[in-house]
Structure formats: C-alpha cells, structure tokens
Structure 1
Amino acid sequence: MYDYSCAQWGDREAVVYGDERLTYTQLRRRVATLATGLSSIGVRKGDRVSFLLGVTPDWVTLFYAALRIGAVAVPLNLSWTGREIVQGLALTESTVLVATDDFRTNNYLGMLTEQIPVLASQAKNALKLEELPNLRTVISLSKSNAKYPFAHDFREVEAAGVDYVPAEFEKMSAEVRPEDFSIILLTSGTTSFPKPVLHNHQTLLVGVAGYADGIEVVPDDKMLIVAPNYHVAGYLTMLMPHLRGGAIHLLEYYLPHTALEVIESERITMMFGFDVHFLMMARHPKFRMYDISSLSRTMIGSAPGSFDEIKAMGVTHQGNIYGSSEYVASQGYFPYRDRKDEYRMRLSHGRPMLGTDFVVKDPTTGKTLAPDEPGELCFKGPALFKGYYNMPEETAAAFDDEGYFHSGDYGWVDAEGYIYYRGRYKETIKSGGENVSAQEVELFLELDTPWILKAMVVALPDPKWGEAVTALVELRAGMNVTGDEIRDFCRDKLAGYKIPKQVVFITNDDWVTTPTGKYDRGAMTDFARQKLEAVNK
C-alpha cells in the first residue's frame, strides 16, 4: 500500500509532528533505513515486535519497517505497569521489544528491569530470560541518549541501515503476502487481561479501506491522530490517510488545548475521538478562541447524549462508529454521505461496511432476528480477525456454526440497515428478575429529561432486588433537580423495573476515563457505591 502511495504522491506531506514534516518519499527512506537496520540485528519475518512508544514519527517508521520485514507489530498499552508489560510480552510470545525510557515520566526499560532484575546484567546479543523465553532482542529509544547494556540503541540501529540497498528493500516487500500476519491488537479487557487479536495484512487493509470510503478521504486531507497507538483506532487513523495520499498529524499524547492549536494552525480536516476527546475540547476555557471550522469529518465513538454538545462545537458530521479490534473496528460507520440525516446521525452507529455480513441473533436460541428486534450483534466478513493468538478454545467459542463472530454486544438493526449499539450484555442489570439495558436508561435520562447532560447507569448489590439500577448523573448548567423528581419523571415513560432506584449526582470532574478515552464503568460503579455508603452512614 505505502509503495503505491509513494509512487502516486511522493512529494506530498505524509507525517507532521511539531516542526518535523516528512513527505511520502522521505518517510519511505526512513522506513528503508530502519528496516535494514533491524534486519542487521536479526529481526526477521514472523518475529513479534512489541513496542512502547508515543505517537511520534518513530512509531510510524517502526510500524512500517516491521511490516516491510514481514514481522508482526504488537503495540503494548502505555498505561500498563511493569507486571502487566511482562504479562503482555509473555502472552504474545514477543521476540523483540522496542521501548522508550521517557513517556510522560514512564521509563519502560526501568519498569522491565524492576520486574526482571537479571535483565540489567545481560548483554544485548545474549538475552536469556526465564520469564520471557521468546524475547531475544530489546531496543531502547532514549530522548536523553541513555545507554542500556541489555538493549540495542534505536538510533544506532537506524544508523546501521543508512547504506541500505534499494533492491534488497524491495525484495523484503515481495516476500510478504496478504495472508501473512501483520498485527496483534490487545483488546481493552475490563474483566480479565486483554486477549491478543491477530490480523493479517489483508484484513487490516480491508478495514482501513472501508473507512477511507466512508469518510471520503482525498489527498488534501489532514488527519489529527489523538488515539493512543495501542488502540485499533491508532492504525485506522494512520493508514487511512496514507491509502489516499493524505497527511497524518501526530500528538505524542492527547491534550485538549494542544489539539485545538493543531486543528487551527494546520487546518485539520479529519479527526477520530471518543466523545470524551471532543467534550474536553468543547469545555476547555479557551475553546471559543480557536478556529476549528476546517474540521469537516469525524470518526466518533460516542453516545447520543453527547451529540448536541459536539454539534455546538461546529462539528457537522459526527461519524459514529460501531467497532471492535476483532474487525479492525470497521463493522459499522456513519458515513459522511449520510450527514444530512441528523436523526440517525444522533442515534445510530451507521451502516455495515461494504462486504460485512451483519445480523442480530437471539443470544439464547441463536435465531436470527428481524429488523428492529434487539439481540446480540453478530458479524462476519473480509476484515474479520484470524483468531486470538495461541487461544484456540477462546477463538472457537467466539464463533457460531455459521461463522458469525458473537460480539456480546446488545442492539438492533433497523429496516434501512442502520446499526444501534446499546451496550454490552454483561452491562445488563438483573433487577427483580428483569433484565435492564444500562444504555437504554442512560439514553432516556440524557435525551428525554430536561435536566441531565450525562448519565451512566450501573448495578449495585441490593438485598431486595439483587441488583439495584443506579444512575450517576451530571446536570446541565444552571439546572437543579432532586433524585425523587427524576424518578417521578421516569414513571409512565419507563417500565417500573427500569427506573433508577438510586441517583448519584456528580460533576464533570468526577468522571473517570480509561487510557483510551472511554468512560470507565467499573471505576464509576465504585464511585457510586462509595458515595452512597458515605451518605447512608
């Protein structure tokens, strides 16, 4: 893909990071240099190359270089502890690790040696670790040029490839096939450690191409990447512009005021984010001092309750996503061409991508349901993953006899084919023998009541009901209401068992998000429990 883009748009900007600007051709030379340097220290086809790097040009270069060699990219979560990093390396049987010693105060090399002290005394060409028997190469990327005896230096590896032979670089690509594995994405685990989702070059590119069509990328586009590079969106937002000759603009990590500055100064046209990313910009005290009118198309992981506030920012296309790592997050998308349908742009998650076979099934019987009947969202198609790495039982359990992947997600598809995702089945609250969809109640509170800006509905243990429907609510500015008034409003509009038994009032500062920008349901459940316990003492 990238060779084609270089041939078509070689002199156009491909990567922008602060004052650093690289054309497609310049980036290709960097990739050739690094790929040759990696090969010189023994990195080869089939290696699993893990990395802990910020969203910088070095990340982009490493990703392309690893895939050029035929290695498998394994992005690790930058928020992990040392113990979790070791666990992730073991789970993916990583053979190579590239890590920085300076990301938002984190020194990942130091964290690794704290977990495996013997590593510090080993030589870089003779690693032998009982905890990580597959790991044979560590590469350090140090802003301060610190040296680690057990690690190759990233800049020295680059320097070793400066005299690359173009014919040898071309040969690398010729030996990599569409069916070869390209990336292992570790899912956002909430109840257990993430599962390693394995994609090949073809499934990854199909997912990217679907978004390029849906968002209508052209060579003049500029994509601001705010997604972390251990999230599937990091790869969609990197590869999609490069498929069509556009540029990617990088932030090492997300800060709302920095994003606003870049959108204005670079005239950014496209951006991915969860509603949290957009709302953080909208609520920034200096938001109105920035011009973001160039931002014409978005990819958003959002809830309908955030729609109006994001619209008020001047965002005319809210491209809501229904996706997961298992399908390169490309199961469904609200395309730019549908932007005049504001009703569905607010409430739906778009339509299935081209070639995707999308159905809703009864989770108990497995029966395929009719339009507008809620059930489990299931799908198959050309972007579907190749399994969980080294987890045959978990892989088999995720599919039915017809080859559909069972997502565990609750929702429906309407008669026109639009998808309505309404939460995880495991987020269903079992209250008094009835099943309550948390997101159904959340949407009612946000869209139908006049007071509530943001709501999250969680389950708390209850001796009478088993689980009590509990609502955490942030009120709109200037609003004042009691929990009893909210419950009274719900009567005759929601079934009795769906009405929140308890209401917890919170402020914008109380919300807890995950490192990827999603609202953290587990943390907010703990918050509600603690606040209610304090009140009831």
Structure 2
Amino acid sequence: MLAQRLLSQDWYHRTIAQLFQETCRRKADHTALVFEEQALSYAALYHEVQCLAHSLLELGIGRGDVISSLPSATPEFVSLYFASLQIGAIVNPLNLLWGPQELQGVLQRNAPKLVVAVDQQGPRDILALLHSALPDLQQHAGRVHSQLLPSLQHVVCVQRSRRSASGYLDFQSLLDPARKVDQAAMQRLIDQGSATDIQFMCQTSGTTSLSKTALWDHRPPLATAHFTARNLRLVESDRYINLAPLYHNSGILALTLNLAYAGTTLYLMDGFQPLEALKTIDRHGCTCTFGFDAHWQGMRRVADFKHYRFSINKAILAGEPRSYDLVRSMCVPGATINNLYAQTENGPLVSLADHDCVNDSINKYTHGRPLPGVEVVIKDIETGQPVVQGQPGEICYRSPYLFRGYHQQAAETQRAFDAQGYFHSGDYGHLDNGYITYLGRLGGVVKSGGENVSTTKVTSQLLEIFSAHFDDVKTLGVEDAYWGAKVVSLVRPLPGQALPSTTELREVCKQHMASYEVPRHFLLWEGDWPVTAEGKIDFKRLQRHAQEHAVDG
C-alpha cells in the first residue's frame, strides 16, 4: 500500500479521511496505536472513530463546524482528529501552555461549536484554564453557554486524573460500542470530502502577539506526510514514537503520516519524559521519530543511556549542526537522518534533506532542498530585493501547499505576500546550490554595530571552534545603548571543563569569526536548558538570564 502511494500523486487529490478509511481496511488486523502498553488495531481504531463521528453528528456538529481541542497525546484525541475530519468538521488544536488571555482571544476568533479538553496535563489544571478564559461559562442540561463565546454549545472532557469533572460531557460516553452507526450516511460524508476543503485551523507559534490561525485544506498536511515518508524511506513495518504534543504540527504529522498515509504503528506518550521514551524505544524496537534538539538532548543525557537499545534508524530533525552530530552518535550505524525547515503556513514542511545524499556536510549544515513544486528565493530584509546566491536574507517562497490565509485576518494575510506572490516567512537564512540553510527567526537576527548577526550561526561557529570545551551553546541578542544589541552566548561546558574568561574566548573567536559576530559576553550555564512542553528551548527564560548577567564592567 505505502509503496503504491509513494509512486503516485493520489495523496494530492484525496482527503485524509479517505486515506485513513482505506488504510484501516487494508491494515485491519495490524497494530495502529500503542499507549501505556495497550495496543489498538486499525480495525478497532476505525470502529472508535466511527462511533465518535456518529456521536458528534448527534451533538449537532457537522461540516464546517469548528472543534477546538486542548489535547493530551492520548488515543482519545487521535480518534477525535479522524472523527472530526470524517464528518467534515474543522480541526483546531490549541496550546496547553497558553494563559487565559491568549486562549480567550483565539477561541473568540475561531468560534468553535465544540471544545474537547483533557482535564489535567501534568501539574496544569486545563479545565481551570478554560474557565479562566471563559469566566462566564455555564452548564445546563448537557449544553454550555458563554456570552464571551456565543458559538460554543458543548464541552467534552477527557478525564486523565481521578477527580470529578461534573457538568461536562464525558468523552467515553461518546464511544459507546453498542451505538448503531449509519454506515451509508457516514460513507457519503467521507466521499463528499474534497482535497481543497478547509478542515484545519492551525495556530502559529506565538511570539509577542496573539497566535494567528492558519487555514489549511488537506494538501499541506498530506504533502508533509508524503515527502516525509519518501525521504525517510518509511516502510509499513516501521514503528514511530511520537515525542511531541498533539497541539504541535509535529504531532499532527505523526497522526497523518502513520495512521492515514503509511499504515505504520504509532507509539504515544502522554507528555515527553526522556527515560520513558528510552524505555519505549528499547521495549518495542521503535525505528523512527521526529525530535527537537531538547528531545534528543534529554534522552542522551539520561544517566544510563547506553544500557538501553536505541533502535531509531530514521530520524527527522529541527535543529542545528550539533544536533545532527548528536543524533548520528545516538542512532544505529547507517541511520537516515533528515534535517528539515518547516513553517505552519506550509503545512508545515518547506524543505527536507534527501535520504540518499552522500555528502554529510550538506546533510549536517543545511536543511535540505525545497519540496517539489516549492519555489524559494532569499530577499534582503531591508530592501526586499533578491540577494545573490549564498547571501543571507529573508526566506520567501511560493508553494502549492501554502495555507489559505489567516482566519479573520485579511490584512495580516495580505501583508505576508509580496507583489510576486512570495510568502515572506519572517525567517532568516540562505539558499546555496538549491539547499536551504535556516539561520533563525528574523527576531533572532540582531543588529549589532550596524551589522546583521544571526544568533543561530554564531552558536554553530562556537560549537565548532570550541568542540573540545563546550557541550552546548545558546546565543541571544541583548539590548545595548551603544551597540543597539550586543551578542551574548550562554555556554554549558563539557564535564570537567572550566569556562575561560570572556576576554580569552573573544581572542580565540577573532581568529575564526567576523568581528561583529564575536559575542560581547560568555555566560556560564549549568545543567539542562529550560524547555517548553513542545520540547523547544525556552528562550524567554534564557533571555531574562542574559539581560540580568550580561553587564559591562
């Protein structure tokens, strides 16, 4: 099945629901999901999805209605994902780390008819968060009312804790296996779906303003699944462990790639725990995954890492050259390790390394080639004009997999495109001989002494220059009255290594780096980097630390 799909363009003309149904029928007896040592076959998963889809229709949810979720990485939200798509509703996962103001603003913009929320995630009370965002939320006779969110009719609770969540609809009640499903009506809904139907509201990574809502049809997530499967050399016997939350695009990739497109087995974890991830990989012989730098570092830094069988031989990275070396050292010899460049607005994959590229320098230092059909140009961040090959600037692209605009933000959508139809990514990088190198968000490009400095590039250079002394580095820009911004690097030394003085380190750097790239301060960092729930480095905490300690004496 997968081999046939990889050789065709059928995925471009079909919906995720249609592919999922076909996969479940052809792989009925194979294991689809494994969670907390409980396995679920494709046939059983499809039955759950059918029951849930029927229940959603009974609640009055249908084509074009928005279902917002506050999801845990558990089977309930896998079923919700596919059931929503099956009935033509719009999938809208929301970030569990948001505060009440952010959550309220996004809910009001997206106007969901249904919210499905886990009751608790780690120490966070998600139902309390929902009530803080909608303080006037009232429950009556199985329905809810809120003047702040008049579109909302139902709240369904997925109970992961032992406490009561009275007043809400219980998710398990929607999965009654005795429920009679009108198979003919359900089939009509699936058949009516079109690849160009908008069925996703995906939130961009918020910076300082409210997260934008990007509208997708089926082509962006299926393009990401198709080219990931192709470039990873995925086969149906692969076992994929998901390390990411299901509100992140990499979580959506895990569901679409494995359960709809490839027919592989997906292993879920309710929250990333490095030791538990290692145990799962060891116990089940997991073969592939996607991970941010913090995921890989977290697993590798487990004290008895070498005692576990790390069977991953197909890995997708969103990291720096050092991450590539780290993953290469962890995985089995000959593993396929693909760097990527991704954005929510392209569903999210923009470029990906090739599995058969034998030039290890290209694999390590670039983020692969643009997906077929994606046109990339680098433009000067001040003039907007194309730069010469190899020079850095803003990454801009035209793509057949682009989002369909920001929901209820027509002006924002229009500003994101130039007169030639290129989407302006807000990312800094360069294009050299057809390969993209991502150098960070434009916010990570600091103006120091009149020069543009990529903090990502500085970090990579420092790790190369001081490979025998530095375990890891994170570089930031700190506001400065004289320089505009001064470059500051936080350094975690290798075990047994002391951090030399800033003066000594600067002298070495001047022999290898442009003078304006040399950090003004080197600050010692001990222990693990702070991370968000997505597994990304928490740069806001690092920024505060740098601002407090990078003081000129």
The TM-score with structure 2 as length reference comes to 0.91
Say whether the 8 Å CA contact 1:221–1:241 is kept in structure 2: no
Say whether the 8 Å CA contact 2:138–2:145 is kept in structure 1: no
Question: Any idea what SS the aligned residue of 1:218 has?
Answer: coil
Question: Any idea what SS the aligned residue of 1:319 has?
Answer: strand
Say whether the 8 Å CA contact 1:410–1:423 is kept in structure 2: yes
Question: Percent identity of the aligned residues?
Answer: 31
Which stretch has the larger CA shift, 61-70 or 431-440?
A: 431-440
Matches within 5 A, 1:75-90: 75-90=93-108
Q: Paired residues, what number? A: 529
Which residue in the other structure is 1:59 paired with?
A: 77
State the alpha-carbon separation in 1 of the partners of residues 135 and 385 from structure 2: 54
* Residue 461 (structure 1) aligned with residue 507 (structure 2): no
Which stretch has the larger CA shift, 481-490 or 103-112?
A: 103-112
Deviations 1:373-427 (A, max 9, x none): 2221111222211111111011111111222111111111221x11111112222
Letter of the aligned partner of 1:185 in structure 2?
A: C
Say whether the 8 Å CA contact 2:316–2:340 is kept in structure 1: yes
State the alpha-carbon separation in 2 of the partners of residues 101 and 467 from structure 1: 43
Distance verdict in 2 for CA 1:111–1:425, change over 3 Å = closer
Deviations 1:320-377 (A, max 9, x none): 1100111122101113222x32211211111111222222222333333343122211
Say whether the 8 Å CA contact 1:380–1:403 is kept in structure 2: yes
Which residue in the other structure is 2:447 paired with?
A: 430
Out of 328, 339, 350, the residue aligned to residue 320 of structure 1 is 339
Distance verdict in 2 for CA 1:115–1:78, change over 3 Å = closer
Out of 211, 214, 225, the residue aligned to residue 231 of structure 2 is 214
Which residue in the other structure is 1:482 paired with?
A: 501
Which residue in the other structure is 1:48 paired with?
A: 66
* Residue 301 (structure 1) aligned with residue 318 (structure 2): yes
State the alpha-carbon separation in 2 of the partners of residues 272 and 479 from structure 1: 31
Question: Any idea what SS the aligned residue of 2:252 has?
Answer: helix
* Residue 494 (structure 1) aligned with residue 517 (structure 2): no
Say whether the 8 Å CA contact 2:76–2:158 is kept in structure 1: no
Say whether the 8 Å CA contact 2:212–2:406 is kept in structure 1: yes
State the alpha-carbon separation in 1 of the partners of residues 219 and 327 from structure 2: 34
Out of 217, 234, 255, the residue aligned to residue 200 of structure 1 is 217
Which stretch has the larger CA shift, 159-168 or 7-16?
A: 159-168
Question: Any idea what SS the aligned residue of 1:217 has?
Answer: coil
Say whether the 8 Å CA contact 1:187–1:197 is kept in structure 2: yes
State the alpha-carbon separation in 2 of the partners of residues 116 and 276 from structure 1: 33
Say whether the 8 Å CA contact 1:409–1:421 is kept in structure 2: yes
Which stretch has the larger CA shift, 28-37 or 199-208?
A: 199-208
State the alpha-carbon separation in 1 of the partners of residues 232 and 532 from structure 2: 26
* Residue 230 (structure 1) aligned with residue 239 (structure 2): no
* Residue 331 (structure 1) aligned with residue 315 (structure 2): no
Question: Any idea what SS the aligned residue of 1:470 has?
Answer: strand
Question: Any idea what SS the aligned residue of 2:522 has?
Answer: strand
State the alpha-carbon separation in 1 of the partners of residues 45 and 163 from structure 2: 23
Question: Any idea what SS the aligned residue of 1:312 has?
Answer: helix
Out of 249, 259, 265, the residue aligned to residue 267 of structure 2 is 249
Which stretch has the larger CA shift, 420-429 or 69-78?
A: 420-429
Distance verdict in 2 for CA 1:394–1:19, change over 3 Å = same
Letter of the aligned partner of 1:371 in structure 2?
A: Q
Say whether the 8 Å CA contact 2:313–2:331 is kept in structure 1: no
Say whether the 8 Å CA contact 2:341–2:351 is kept in structure 1: yes
State the alpha-carbon separation in 2 of the partners of residues 208 and 312 from structure 1: 26
State the alpha-carbon separation in 1 of the partners of residues 134 and 241 from structure 2: 37
Deviation at 1:430, TM superposition (A): 1.5
Out of 2, 20, 24, the residue aligned to residue 6 of structure 1 is 24
Say whether the 8 Å CA contact 1:449–1:489 is kept in structure 2: no
Deviations 1:428-482 (A, max 9, x none): 2212222222122111111122422222221222232222111111112222322
Structure 1 gaps, min length 5: none
Question: Any idea what SS the aligned residue of 1:504 has?
Answer: strand
The TM-score with structure 1 as length reference comes to 0.94
Say whether the 8 Å CA contact 2:136–2:147 is kept in structure 1: no
State the alpha-carbon separation in 1 of the partners of residues 323 and 496 from structure 2: 18
Matches within 5 A, 1:18-33: 18-33=36-51
Deviation at 1:308, TM superposition (A): 2.6
* Residue 358 (structure 1) aligned with residue 414 (structure 2): no
Letter of the aligned partner of 1:67 in structure 2?
A: L
Distance verdict in 2 for CA 1:248–1:160, change over 3 Å = closer
Distance verdict in 2 for CA 1:105–1:507, change over 3 Å = closer
Distance verdict in 2 for CA 1:370–1:148, change over 3 Å = same
Which residue in the other structure is 1:69 paired with?
A: 87
State the alpha-carbon separation in 2 of the partners of residues 310 and 70 from structure 1: 39
Letter of the aligned partner of 2:216 in structure 1?
A: H
State the alpha-carbon separation in 1 of the partners of residues 324 and 232 from structure 2: 18
Letter of the aligned partner of 1:463 in structure 2?
A: A
Matches within 5 A, 1:22-421: 22-125=40-143, 127-143=144-160, 144=162, 146-149=164-167, 151-159=168-176, 162-242=179-259, 243-292=261-310, 294-314=311-331, 316-338=335-357, 340-415=358-433, 417-421=434-438
Which stretch has the larger CA shift, 115-124 or 151-160?
A: 115-124
Deviations 1:27-50 (A, max 9, x none): 111110000011111111111101
State the alpha-carbon separation in 1 of the partners of residues 124 and 185 from structure 2: 37
Say whether the 8 Å CA contact 1:13–1:247 is kept in structure 2: yes
Question: Any idea what SS the aligned residue of 2:349 has?
Answer: coil
State the alpha-carbon separation in 2 of the partners of residues 335 and 170 from structure 1: 38
Letter of the aligned partner of 2:391 in structure 1?
A: E
Structure 2 gaps, min length 5: 1-18
Say whether the 8 Å CA contact 1:332–1:351 is kept in structure 2: yes
State the alpha-carbon separation in 2 of the partners of residues 118 and 419 from structure 1: 48
Distance verdict in 2 for CA 1:132–1:352, change over 3 Å = same
Distance verdict in 2 for CA 1:178–1:306, change over 3 Å = closer
Deviation at 1:160, TM superposition (A): 8.4
Which stretch has the larger CA shift, 327-336 or 274-283?
A: 327-336
Distance verdict in 2 for CA 1:317–1:507, change over 3 Å = farther
Distance verdict in 2 for CA 1:128–1:263, change over 3 Å = same
Deviations 1:286-315 (A, max 9, x none): 2111001x2111011111123333322235
Letter of the aligned partner of 1:223 in structure 2?
A: Y
Letter of the aligned partner of 1:66 in structure 2?
A: S
State the alpha-carbon separation in 1 of the partners of residues 545 and 165 from structure 2: 43
State the alpha-carbon separation in 2 of the partners of residues 258 and 370 from structure 1: 47
Say whether the 8 Å CA contact 1:36–1:160 is kept in structure 2: no
